[in-house]
Structure 1
Amino acid sequence: MTKCLRLLRHLPWTTQLRPALVQFQTRLKYTQHQGVKGIRNRKSFFEAQMQSGQQAESEQETDTGNGTDTLDMRFLDDRAYDEVAGGAMRISRDVATAQKVLILQPYVKWAAKRNTPDDVKPNDQLTEATALIHSLPNWKVVRGLKVPLESLERKALFGSGKMAELKTLVAELRQEQQLTCLFVSKGTLSFAQKHFLEAEFRLPVLDRYSVVIQILRLHATSAEARLQVAMAELPYIWAQAKDASMTQTRRQGYSLTDLQKEILRSRERKLRAELDRVRRQRQLLRQKRKQQNYPIAAVVGYTNAGKTSLIKALTVEDSLQPRNQLFATLDVTAHGGFLPCNLQLIYMDTVGFMSDLPTNLFECFVATLEDAMLADIIIHVQDLSHPCHAAQSAHVESTLRSLAFSIAGGDSTASHMPPIINVYNKCDLVPASAEPTAAEQEGSRRAAHRISARALTGLDPLLQDIERQVLAVTGRRKLQMRVPNGGPEMAWLYKNAAVVFTEADEKNPERLLMQVVICQRTLEQFKRQFC
């Protein structure tokens, strides 16, 4: 067959038929082998097509003059991938689509079998699940229910009696308010659980991971945020398909075709390459800040705890616009402020954390969370008005420890965190007569600060504590120096150190007393130049 094709190709009357011959020969690559060989040939053909496409894209970038420093985001708009992701997460990328949601908050009845802290009540979990849905525009909560269970691992999830009751409720809500989907507020549902519930209720079923991904898609506006959100989607899709069985009688997950698997692998390779570039760029920025000798404070906390509001209060930066939404901040941004000693400090705003989510969701944000873990100090903002702020605080601290371990490459000896300053925000929403909880008493022993970023109360003691911690960690100290009034020494100190205050020397009017904040290296440079 191959020899015949070669002979036909060289005949003069076959010039117009060459495209059809090429198409026929390409079709033979798909059909001439069956079984494992057929899969391999299809896979190799797809890889060849991908490589040729990548080469064409690189040539196009060279022709247009695009630099290598810009992020290539074109591969994120892939319809084939959107179909795979939509099949796994049961949601489309169009966040403008209106949804009417029934929230089912499952919880284990027996306290001994629960995996949540004792102070986290089902009402609090339902409130957080409702806030997740309200974070999406055009999404409306029709009703929220708490459903007691004996275990969260059953395939049916609900008992037969509760299932019949829920099916009746869903049928009524579909007729009355046109219910469109169900939100089971559990970290992740297995595909078997999701498939069973969808067959019973005849509606799409979402879990917390799916809803959070949709919120992240909505708030991801920068190129770095879009890359990290796209990377966070892939572990969920693979997890939904990992238990797939090739037998027809026992299928626990959904089966991906070879083409779909290759689409996911290719997307993952591109995302890792772009995220590695982001990490290198972030590393260069950290090196520049280190050369300029700026101290850095990372502001971390549970989502919607008031991190951005605190930074705005400390820096008086009008461009910051805090929002009362979950996951409103996805990018790690730097904001400059001054300590009481006139030392300039950079505050790093970070993405918020949330409980009952897999850790690999936040590990996809390591490219930017490294800035927080490599800062000089960490400011942990907690929502004091939230009834579960103790559990939220414990979750943030455990997540920070796991991130430090991940950034250190799994080396427990090298995984260390900077000093942490605990800040209790929104104290204006707590009654003054309320007794301190056990978490507040523990926080007082750890020198926690009660503040209100909105009312601007309690900020002065906090700034004093931040200054003390920064000076201790960075090796800076306050010195009083006597220099010529108006001389080059005075100008040099204003440029390279933080000047707290100046006053005239009573003993010598030609001299000036300057109190400065200076590190040892800068002090040695001053001595070499002027002493």
Structure 2
Amino acid sequence: MKCLRSVLRVAWPAQLRPFITQIPARFKYTQHQGVKGIRNRKSFYEAQMQAGLQEQSDPTAVSSGDMRFLDDRAYDEVAGGAMRISRDVATAQHVFILQPYVKWSAKRTTPDNVTPDDQLAEATALIHSLPNWQVARSLKVPLESLERKTLFGSGKLTELKQLMTDLRQERQVTCLFVSKGTLSFAQKQFLETEFQLPVLDRYSVVIQILRLHATSAEARLQVAMAELPYIWALAKDASVTQTRRQGYSLSDLQKEILRTRERKLRAELDGVRRQRQLLRQKRKQQNYPVAAVVGYTNAGKTSLIKALTVQDKLQPRNQLFATLDVTAHAGNLPCNQQLIYMDTVGFMSDLPTGLFECFVATLEDAMLADIIIHVQDLSHPCHSAQRAHVESTLRSLAFSIAGGDPSAGQLPPIINVYNKCDLLTPKAQLAAVAQLQNTAVGHLISARAQTGLEPLLKDVEKQILAATGRRKLQVRVPSGGPEMAWLYKNAAVVDTRADEQNAEKILMRVVISQRTLEQFKREFC
């Protein structure tokens, strides 16, 4: 195979070369002067495609569980060229954070109670979630609009370039993070040319975090699927007219690489959905109620499940997107009814909904649960905005899972849980308690300090009994008889006591569904 001899003529500093994935020559590159782009006839992609066709005659057939295509060099080159980042997140980076915000409220898309300082703090937390990544400098930049190609005005751009040049000379910055959901192709290309640094947006940084925390096969599949919409968006944004002036576009072969990968990922994820559907059916047959625990990222979902289930093996982490897999954990309600808690991936604002739609294969467990426990970080200054974002995302996901049918996309009952109250000042705690007493819309708890859990469990029990059609009954049965053994096996026994009127009988308080009660009557009555 011939070596690749042509790459984009971008003069990156030497210390950035391990970080940046060079864009191969198969990206059609056109200079500003209108010179025709250079394109290799015999490329690494073509050799890979030919090898793939020889190994697999049917391109639509995907063997279940075979995920070797996730480690595909051809795709890595396409993804690295589009996203400007390598797959190695362990490389140390010094990041300059720019937090743009719209000055005029009429054009602002963020909630009014979310300040630029709050946005900058979240952007900083994103960078700190990656090992060996440090914040070299952070800056808030007021703008008139987020849609301009240059993003910044000429005066601000000159000021930023000078600041960036000084930091780069001191080797204090290696990349630029513009804390905006997604940058357009034109914006990213312009900023990289002006600052001579790789430019990341929120989507690409979150992808890096997801790659780091994706350890299971399901998580790796869903993260790989989440990358594709971002790459396609950049390719579509680089239209023919724009390409002649400022950038590249994907070749037909590269588009086929993306389509083939997307087809394989969808096939694997369909298998995951079928497997999870079988697990849900099995839980339904065994009559297990399910409570899905959802919330903003790092709100304390895993910590709450650990407190409610008393499972020492759960190790919550103070990191964004620490949980990517939907996992099931068994616990008991005060009535001794067993309950399955489903831990889910956290949400985050200013990200396309399509990023989380890639996790539908596992988020279906939350949408199809009997109740939803919405955990919120009460100590966060933007907890009300976070709550609204999670609720809107849940409605969007329910609508998507229901196939666009509004009548079928109804959410289960939601219990609001306000976590981390121990981090509030005493005055703020009193104000929060007073507000909850007036509205009666949630529970004030601390999962770490394990306070406020008993009222929450009682509310969960009440909602579960109502949602699953269970009820509490007192049954008089022979002491030590088969009826007792049957109820212990098929119902939740709250307590037992001797019958004062008949020493041979015993009174059992049980939680039982109507269907199970009918089975008991047919068996013993």
Deviates more, 1:518-527 or 1:434-443: 434-443
Q: Identify the match of residue 179 of structure 1 among 164, 169, 173.
A: 173
Q: Does 1:372 align with 2:366?
A: yes
Q: Does 1:381 align with 2:375?
A: yes
Q: Identify the match of residue 498 of structure 1 among 492, 496, 506.
A: 492
Cα distance, 1:352 vs structure 2: 0.1
Query: Partners in 2 of 1:380 and 1:348 — Cα distance?
Result: 12
Query: Partners in 2 of 1:245 and 1:430 — Cα distance?
Result: 51
- Partner residue of 2:333? 339
- Partner residue of 1:21? none
- Partner residue of 2:106? 112
Q: Does 1:282 align with 2:276?
A: yes
- Partner residue of 2:425? 431
Amino acid across the alignment from 1:161: G
Indicate if the aligned counterparts of 1:242 and 1:253 stay in contact, CA closer than 8 A.
no
Q: Following superposition of structure 1 onto structure 2, how do residues 401-412 of structure 1 map, counting pairs within 5 Å?
A: 401-412=395-406
Deviates more, 1:163-172 or 1:394-403: 163-172
1:288-321 deviations in whole A, cap 9, x for unaligned? 0000000000000000000000000000001100
- Partner residue of 2:313? 319
**Percent of pairs with identical residues:** 80
1:123-180 deviations in whole A, cap 9, x for unaligned? 0000000000000001010011000000000000001110111011101111224311
- TM (normalized to structure 1)? 0.87
- Partner residue of 1:457? 451
Q: Identify the match of residue 67 of structure 2 among 73, 92, 114.
A: 73
RMSD of aligned residue pairs (Cα, Å): 2.4
Amino acid across the alignment from 1:169: L
1:368-422 deviations in whole A, cap 9, x for unaligned? 0000000000000000000000000000000000000000000111110000000
Query: In 2 relative to 1, CA 129–444 (structure 1 residues): closer, same or farther, beyond 3 Å?
Result: farther
Cα distance, 1:447 vs structure 2: 2.4
Amino acid across the alignment from 1:486: G
Indicate if the aligned counterparts of 2:376 and 2:419 stay in contact, CA closer than 8 A.
yes
- Partner residue of 1:363? 357
Query: Partners in 2 of 1:151 and 1:200 — Cα distance?
Result: 19
Instruction: Give the structure with higher Rg (CA).
Output: 1
Query: Partners in 2 of 1:439 and 1:410 — Cα distance?
Result: 39
Deviates more, 1:440-449 or 1:120-129: 440-449
Cα distance, 1:246 vs structure 2: 3.5
Query: In 2 relative to 1, CA 410–202 (structure 1 residues): closer, same or farther, beyond 3 Å?
Result: same
Query: Partners in 2 of 1:85 and 1:249 — Cα distance?
Result: 18
Query: Partners in 2 of 1:87 and 1:364 — Cα distance?
Result: 22
Query: Partners in 2 of 1:54 and 1:439 — Cα distance?
Result: 63
- Partner residue of 2:192? 198
Query: In 2 relative to 1, CA 519–435 (structure 1 residues): closer, same or farther, beyond 3 Å?
Result: closer
- Partner residue of 1:28? none
- Partner residue of 2:209? 215
Deviates more, 1:50-59 or 1:487-496: 50-59
Indicate if the aligned counterparts of 1:240 and 1:254 stay in contact, CA closer than 8 A.
no
Query: In 2 relative to 1, CA 116–440 (structure 1 residues): closer, same or farther, beyond 3 Å?
Result: farther
Question: Which one has the bigger helix percentage?
Answer: 1
- Partner residue of 2:511? 517
Query: Partners in 2 of 1:193 and 1:349 — Cα distance?
Result: 37
Cα distance, 1:427 vs structure 2: 0.3
- Partner residue of 1:54? 56
Q: SS of the residue aligned with 1:242? A: helix
Moved over 6 A (4+): 43-48, 56-59, 435-440
Cα distance, 1:442 vs structure 2: 7.6
- Partner residue of 2:25? none
Query: Partners in 2 of 1:220 and 1:314 — Cα distance?
Result: 25
Indicate if the aligned counterparts of 2:465 and 2:471 stay in contact, CA closer than 8 A.
yes
Query: Partners in 2 of 1:439 and 1:44 — Cα distance?
Result: 65
- Partner residue of 1:167? 161
- Partner residue of 1:486? 480
- Partner residue of 1:188? 182
Cα distance, 1:489 vs structure 2: 0.1
- Partner residue of 2:92? 98
- TM (normalized to structure 2)? 0.88
Q: SS of the residue aligned with 2:451? A: coil
How many aligned residue pairs are there? Answer: 483
Q: Following superposition of structure 1 onto structure 2, how do residues 291-302 of structure 1 map, counting pairs within 5 Å?
A: 291-302=285-296
Query: Partners in 1 of 2:226 and 2:179 — Cα distance?
Result: 19
Gap regions ≥5 residues in structure 2: 1-40
Cα distance, 1:432 vs structure 2: 2.1
Query: Partners in 2 of 1:444 and 1:378 — Cα distance?
Result: 23
Query: Partners in 1 of 2:426 and 2:139 — Cα distance?
Result: 33
Query: Partners in 2 of 1:339 and 1:438 — Cα distance?
Result: 26
Deviates more, 1:244-253 or 1:163-172: 244-253
